[in-house]
Chains A and B, each alone.
Chain A
């Protein structure tokens, strides 16, 4: 069974536009499925159809906590995680399900979006530059490893998602939680694949785009910093990361400084991750990192 999870905050109109394409794509797999709309904060939603279950969550707490709550309630062996502004092509879920083989943590489709320079947000590569991991687009027409499953659409085994602890809720409400999830999976030797034949359409930052620009910039810097401090374990890379933070403290703008400061406070509580597995260099080199 496939359990589709669609977190939403105030996405009533987007759900009305897109849910039909999701149910059609799920139906096209020929497998049992369920669709959970995760109403993060309990805002009023339009009628979503009899085959859709609405799970009302206190909050809003953000994308990661909403998906985690949905994963815990899911009945299916696989999770199809979606944003509420995503429309699926009919064959998308079937193609993703076919590509999800043992050893693969997650599969992500071609995510056609106005946010992507190359037009496809689905393929991502990590680039080590100036002491920080930077994310770049990695377009392809063939199935290939990607750095992480972009949160707006991917399919993964429910058990693996839960074993990894789901999304890191420290990163709530948004940004970098999907990078963090993919990195932790890769640490365990699991890969994420980009499957360009499966296609979804992403309206683009429908929920986050409504937040103030400064809030988004601060959150983005906070979560990138926290992601690196918690996940990198190579001494040389960690030293370089701290060097990059020093540069940001000296030369970065006020949003970057505020983000880094917030990340340091969170890191003081959360600390580094201790899971065994692949080394940082191996993780980064497997996804086009330089």
Chain B
């Protein structure tokens, strides 16, 4: 809808409402004027704001153009500087290439050294483990040695004690041999005495048997004499 058409519609409404008659017309007109003023003020305010912004933008643009000019000059000198930098860059790139090769070689060496280092670390670790084991074994051996020394000392003491016991036993053995010999001598002497006594007893007993045999055969008046001889023989046996 165009503004004129809209205004027509509004005025039609105004007529319907009776806004164009009597006191209402005053309200209509006053409101129209006040609202128009408000709208214009608002639009003017917006326009003024836009103008201020535009002026600010112009100033900004001018300063940007100055800056652009300065930047162009700076760009030209920077171009020269860039050319120098490019030459320096080419030289540096050559150097960089050489350094890269050197670096690659150093990296290879470093890799080899790293591997060797790792291997040595592994070996060292094994040796340290072995050393640790040996220290533990040494401690055990030391303890065993101490125990064996103690055992040896005990055995030595036992040996000394046994020697002393042996010496004692040998002395006792010699004494026993002497005692046995003495016993043998005693036995021999006793046997000899016994044999002699036995011979004596046998002889006496033989005499007593012959007395008895003769006594049995003798007359009774001889018997007291026989009895006396037998008593004498018995006394001999008793003695």
Chain B: minimal CB distance from A130 (Å):
4
Chain B: minimal CB distance from A30 (Å):
50
In-complex Cβ contact of B32 among A131, A238, A261 (8 A): A131
B43 touches A251 (CB 8 A): yes
B27 touches A251 (CB 8 A): no
A264 touches B9 (CB 8 A): yes
A131 touches B31 (CB 8 A): yes
A247 touching B35 in the complex, CB below 8 Å, given contacts A239-B14, A239-B17, A261-B9? yes
A264 touching B13 in the complex, CB below 8 Å, given contacts A243-B19, A249-B3? yes
In-complex Cβ contact of A246 among B11, B37, B40 (8 A): B11
A243 touching B28 in the complex, CB below 8 Å, given contacts A132-B35, A251-B40, A257-B1? yes
Main SS of chain A's interface residues? helix
Interface centre among A237, A238, A245, A256 (most CB of B within 10 A): A245
Please report the number of residue pairs spanning A and B whose Cβ atoms sit closer than 8 angstroms: 104
B24 touches A130 (CB 8 A): no
A247 touches B36 (CB 8 A): yes
Residues of A within 8 A of B89 (CB): none
Q: Is B168 an interface residue (CB 8 A)?
A: no
A240 touching B30 in the complex, CB below 8 Å, given contacts A245-B10, A257-B3, A260-B10? yes
Q: Is A169 an interface residue (CB 8 A)?
A: no
A239 touches B18 (CB 8 A): yes
Q: Is A69 an interface residue (CB 8 A)?
A: no
Q: Is A252 an interface residue (CB 8 A)?
A: yes
A242 touching B6 in the complex, CB below 8 Å, given contacts A236-B24, A251-B36? no
Residues of A within 8 A of B23 (CB): 236
Q: Is A142 an interface residue (CB 8 A)?
A: no
B32 touches A244 (CB 8 A): yes
Residues of A within 8 A of B28 (CB): 239-240, 242-243, 246
Residues of B within 8 A of A47 (CB): none
In-complex Cβ contact of A239 among B27, B33, B35, B43 (8 A): B27
A242 touches B3 (CB 8 A): no
- How many residues of chain A are within 8 Å of chain B by beta carbon? 29
Cα distance A257–B4 in the bound complex, in angstroms? 10
Cα distance A239–B24 in the bound complex, in angstroms? 6
A245 touches B13 (CB 8 A): yes
A242 touching B10 in the complex, CB below 8 Å, given contacts A131-B32, A251-B43, A261-B1? yes
A247 touches B6 (CB 8 A): no
Cα distance A258–B2 in the bound complex, in angstroms? 9
A240 touches B6 (CB 8 A): no
Q: Is A50 an interface residue (CB 8 A)?
A: no
Chain A: minimal CB distance from B5 (Å):
8
Q: Which residue of A lies closest to B13 (CB)?
A: A242
A243 touches B35 (CB 8 A): yes
A251 touches B9 (CB 8 A): no
Cα distance A37–B11 in the bound complex, in angstroms? 45
A244 touches B3 (CB 8 A): no
Q: Is B193 an interface residue (CB 8 A)?
A: no
Q: Is B106 an interface residue (CB 8 A)?
A: no
B17 touches A246 (CB 8 A): no
Chain B: minimal CB distance from A182 (Å):
23
Cα distance A237–B13 in the bound complex, in angstroms? 14
* Residues 205-253 of A contacting B (Cβ, < 8 Å): 235-253
Closest 4 pairs (CB-CB, A-B): A131-B31, A243-B31, A240-B31, A239-B19
B contact residues vs A (CB 8 Å cutoff) = 1, 3, 6-7, 9-11, 13-14, 17-19, 23-25, 27-40, 43
- List 7 A-B residue pairs with CB atoms under 8 Å apart, sorted by A's residue number: A131-B31, A239-B19, A240-B31, A241-B31, A242-B13, A250-B3, A264-B10
